[in-house]
Amino acid sequence: MNLLEHYVTNITHEEAIEKNGTLFFKIVCDVDCYGSKEIQKEVLLSEDDYAEAKSKGYYLA
């Protein structure tokens, strides 16, 4: 399985969601994956991926 960095910018909405005892975060942001840019995309991230996106500016997917 190949994992690619999805770079996150311009976060305009963040919402914590709990499903079956697991915490997820729904964010609306701009995403850039090696030149493939999506504006104001809704992304559902695990707690670890959310922390990585906030601290490093990207998550792996």
Q: How many CB atoms sit inside 10 A of residue 49's CB? A: 19
**CA–CA gap between residue 61 and residue 57 (Å, rounded):** 13
The per-residue pLDDT of the chain, averaged, comes to: 97
Per-residue pLDDT tens over the stretch 15-39: 999 999 999 999 999 999 999 999 9
The residue ranges of every structural domain in the chain are 5-60
pLDDT of residue 48: 97
pLDDT at 53: 97
pLDDT for position 1: 74
